[in-house]
Structure 1
Amino acid sequence: MYDYVIIGGGIVGLSTGYALVEKYPQAKIAVVEKERTLAFHQTGHNSGVIHSGIYYKPGSLKAKLSREGGDLLRSFCNQHEIPYDMCGKVIVATDQHELPLLENLYKRGLENQLDVSIIDADQLAEIEPHAYGLKAIRVKEAGIVNYKRIAESLAKVIQEKGGDILLGTKVENIKESSSGVEIECTNKTIHARYLINCAGLHCDRIAALQGLKTDMKIVPFRGEYYELKPEKHYLVKNLIYPVPNPNFPFLGVHFTRMMDGHVHAGPNAVLSFKREGYRKTDFDLKDITEVLTYPAFWKIAYKNLGEGWKEMVRSFSKKVFVQSLQRLIPEVRAEDLVESENGVRAQALTKDGKLVDDFLIVTNQRSTHILNAPSPAATASIAIGRNIGERIPEPAQI
């Protein structure tokens, strides 16, 4: 009998396990992952950005935990000798109608107590010589790291402190009783006093297995990337972002220098026909049927018809994708780019047709469910783990 079982071996699940072994060293803890390796899905396809929290509503979990999480993340990296680079980023307004949006974003950054400044075109050129912009926000508290390395180190700490990592163990059913939770998996049955659902792309299904009424569903959005050829890496020094559409939950195509020196360009955001669908051709009948028969999806699709259509066009037309990038760096050409690895974002959509904007964590008697943890969840992961540790009962009280 485990005290705590965590479903999901991504960075949020592992950070939760890390928080619990630190807080309750005598507790018996297990992380259950259906894949044969950890950090296989969202964490393993992450862009590697350490987010500052500038985009998020002041007072929200995203704003609080991304800032707190960034500090904890850097401390963890220092302790475990994981390299990172607080290189900063620029958020660039490329035409006049974006200037008021840029100003609003700057004010939000100040509200979130960030070290941000408005810079003009000349100052932008000093930071990113090949970027074009009328004005920009310089954000010093942004950086880059390899989140898969962090996940591996979190797992190592969990195991060193007596926790179990159970790979290749897919959860198929959950039964809750007065004495605990029985978790039926493909290869074993696990008993726990308390369950924590960090299943990412499948978190709503895990919640449903336990009989939790969530009034939401995960809708998968594929983010498609290109990367600059090595001879064009000089075009991007660090991180270059556009001013995001405040009515759309994605940040727009941008340039990201990775820790290995590669420079990624993207992503767009299109509906994935499979929850783990990293290619355009990936398709799962159950996954897409769940989305298309969910009335809330059609509400949000109708509301964002224009933006959604632009994303689809950008997905199938490299020319249009490049045009979006050229708004930020006019020198970029189609021949400078090669296709790169894509990612899938697990986005919660409520039954009233609203995309959940903040992290969503629901707790009941014997379980806690993280039902919405898209970006900046990796940045905030260690803080999310601590937050969950504060919500759940101590082993003696379960």
Structure 2
Amino acid sequence: MATHAAYDCDVLVIGGGIVGLSSAYALTRTAPGTRVTVLEKERGPGRTPPGGGMVHTGIQHAPGSLQARWTVRGAAELADFCAEHGLAHTVTGKLIVATAGAELPRLHGLVQRGRAHGLPVRELGPAQIAEYEPRVRGLAAIRVGTGGVCDFAAVAARLAAEVSDAGGRIRYGADVVAVDRRPWGVAVRTSDGRVVRARVLVNCAGPHSDRIARLAGDDPGVRTVLLREASYELTAPDQVRGLVHQVPDPALRHPGARLTRGLDGVVRLGPAAVPARAEAEYARSGGFLREPASVLGRTGAWRITLRRRHDAEGAHGRPTVARAVRRLLPGVTEDDLRPSPSGARAQAFLRDGTPVNDFLLRDAPHAVHVLHAPPTAATASLPLGREVARRALLRARATGWRPPAVESGHCV
């Protein structure tokens, strides 16, 4: 067994996005004195949506799923975290609107699901919709009181500061190229030739998480693709006060019109994720793209995805988006929309091409892998980070390590 001095840190986190930083933060809070190092391949903190990001409610997710549990809990914890540190966060509530009779049963199902989650849900008629959103039209709606907007860039920066204040280290520009697992832990080499030895590896590498798992000698069971998130802005933002979503149709690959008024007052539509057309599309966002054939092999599901790529992109083109928005905001035309900077997100697929729709965490000797974090991950980041920390500390204990100090009620 290696001695304590032989380790450069107790837990090494790969990935400096909000999930990795939340995990590092939870480690320093759960077991004060734990030596934590974070490696991030980019030269600075990851990019976040302009104007702040949407705080998800969790109402759409199945009861008992990790998304439902962590998103509902995370929204409340996020509000408290922002209040404690003076970060921008606004609770506007979210309207989910039915614009056609066929959507009413799905709307009622969301009411039942929201109440099962313990969310504050209010059913609205057309006149009551106008009380919250005077320009929005619909047959019926529900208002979920926990929806809002948050400055996730500031949250990530605060988490990084908390980790540093607790003695943790964050290294930017540290691209992991090799992982050597030993009986005593792991040794990780970065592209600059430096080696970091740790008791436990935490893999929060987002679109690179499957690659890191394979470098560690583990079979992730998934392949990850980076998707472009296309979105538009309303040229007249006074038409929307907060968050307005069309009732989602589970039979469709996109969730319908979604309008979000950011902290900067800009109303954004989307984003909607579509497969990337070329690597150049991700160069602007620092993303990572591999050819789909090399990512998923020749599975039938992925071939269908490729064949429908242009259909998917067309479904989110300006004419189609304008038609969808008109169901909520009558009178909107293509001229009322302008392109908004696109982002990217990672999507994990199983070997048969089925997309992973929930959080996916897997344990391995001396390692914890976060193999998929859905779009709700920023909202759910605090409870997600605690679960990752719990698993990592269990593995650290197996090396003979004991936390220097433990806060009551937090540790495993």
For 2:355, the aligned partner's letter is: L
Q: Distance in 1 between matches of 2:287 and 2:388?
A: 34
Give the secondary structure class of the aligned counterpart of 1:393.
helix
Counterpart residue type for residue 263 of structure 1: V
Give the conservation status (yes or no) of the 8 Å contact 1:53–1:67: yes
Give, in whole Å, the separation in 2 of the partners of 1:156 and 1:141. 27
3-state secondary structure, aligned to 2:393: coil
SS of alignment partner, residue 223 of structure 2: strand
Q: Secondary structure at the match of 2:201?
A: strand
Q: Name the residue aligned to 1:17.
A: 24
Residue of structure 2 in register with 1:228 after alignment:
234
- Answer whether contact 2:279 2:289 (CA < 8 A) is retained: no
State the shift of 1:44 in Å.
5.0
Question: Matched residues in 2 for 1:157 and 1:196: separation?
Answer: 18
Determine the structure 2 residue equivalent to 1:32: 39
CA contact (8 A) 1:47 1:258 kept: yes
Q: CA deviation at 1:234?
A: 0.8
- The reply on whether 1:207 has 2:208 as its aligned counterpart is no
- Checking the alignment, whether the CA contact within 8 Å between 1:300 and 1:353 is kept in structure 2 is no
Is 2:246 the counterpart of 1:245? no
Question: Quick one: distance in 2 between partners of 1:204 and 1:274?
Answer: 21
In structure 2, relative to structure 1, the CA distance for the partners of 1:44 and 1:128 (3 Å cut) is: closer
Provide the residue aligned with 2:163 in structure 1.
158
Match of 1:351 in 2: 351
* Residue in 2 that maps onto 1:79: 84
Equivalent in 273, 286, 292 of residue 269 of structure 1? 273
Moved more, 116-125 or 278-287: 278-287
**What TM-score do you get using the length of structure 2 for normalisation?**
0.88
* 1:12-161 aligned within 5 A: 12-40=19-47, 43-44=48-49, 48-161=53-166
Deviations 1:130-185 (A, max 9, x none): 11211111111111111011000000111111100100000111110101111111
Query: Structure 1: how far apart are the matches of 2:196 and 2:278?
Result: 28
- Counterpart residue number, 2:3: none
What's the CA shift for 1:301?
Answer: 2.7
For the pair 1:181 / 2:186, whether they are aligned, the reply is yes
Residues 1:113 and 1:310: Cα distance change in structure 2 (over 3 Å): farther
Rounded Cα–Cα distance in structure 2 between residues aligned with 1:202 and 1:284: 8
Q: Is the 8 A contact 1:272 1:344 kept in 2?
A: no
Aligned-pair CA distance for 1:328: 1.6
Tell me which residue corresponds to 1:335: 335
2:4 counterpart residue number = none
For 1:56 and 1:276, locate their aligned partners in 2 and report how far apart those are by CA, in whole Å.
34
% identical equivalent positions: 36
Deviates more, 1:269-278 or 1:345-354: 269-278
Mark the runs of 5 or more structure 1 residues left unpaired by the alignment: none
Q: Which amino acid aligns with 2:218?
A: L
Q: 1:87–1:144: 8 Å Cα contact kept in structure 2?
A: yes
Equivalent residue pairs, number: 390
How far is the alpha carbon of 1:314 from its aligned partner?
3.0
1:275 is displaced (CA, Å) by 7.4
CA distance in structure 2 between the aligned counterparts of 1:211 and 1:182, rounded to whole angstroms: 13
**Could you tell me how far apart the structure 1 residues matched to 2:292 and 2:51 are?**
23
Do 2:282 and 2:288's aligned partners in 1 also have CA atoms closer than 8 Å?
no
Q: Does 1:7 align with 2:14?
A: yes
* Structure 1 CA distance for aligned equivalents of residues 230 and 361 of structure 2: 28
Partner of 1:313: 314
Q: Which amino acid aligns with 1:210?
A: A
Q: Give the structure 2 partner of residue 190 of structure 1.
A: 196
CA distance in structure 2 between the aligned counterparts of 1:158 and 1:358, rounded to whole angstroms: 27
Q: Which aligned runs of 4 or more in structure 1 are off by greater than 6 angstroms? A: 279-285
C-alpha deviation, 1:248, in angstroms: 4.6
**Of 198-207 and 283-292, the range deviating more from structure 2:** 283-292
Structure 2 distance, partners of 1:153, 1:390, is: 21
1:171-218 deviation digits (Å, cap 9, x = unpaired): 111110101111111112211110001111111111111121122111
Q: CA deviation at 1:273?
A: 3.9
Which whole-Å CA distance do the structure 2 matches of 1:71 and 1:25 have between them? 24
State the superposition RMSD in angstroms.
Answer: 2.4
Q: Which amino acid aligns with 1:215?
A: G
By how many angstroms is 1:281 displaced? Answer: 12
Q: CA deviation at 1:270?
A: 1.1
Match among 289, 294, 297 for residue 290 of structure 1: 294
Report the equivalent of 1:322: 322
Give yes or no for contact 1:2–1:193 (8 Å, CA) kept in 2.
Answer: yes
The structure-2 alpha-carbon separation of the partners of 1:250 and 1:313, relative to structure 1 and needing over 3 Å to count, comes to closer
Distance in 1 between residues matched to 2:52 and 2:281, nearest whole Å:
17
Report the more deviating stretch, 130-139 or 292-301: 292-301
Helix, strand or coil: the match of 1:183? strand
User: What is the Cα deviation at residue 90 of structure 1?
Assistant: 0.5
Aligned to 1:257: 261
For 2:289 and 2:376, how far apart are their aligned partners in 1?
29
Provide closer, same or farther for how the CA distance between residues 234 and 309 of structure 1 changes in structure 2, counting only shifts above 3 A. Answer: same
Structure 1 residue 322 displacement after superposition: 1.2
State the SS of the aligned residue for 1:37. coil
Q: Distance in 2 between matches of 1:281 and 1:344?
A: 7
Which structure 2 segments of 5+ residues have no match? 1-7, 400-412
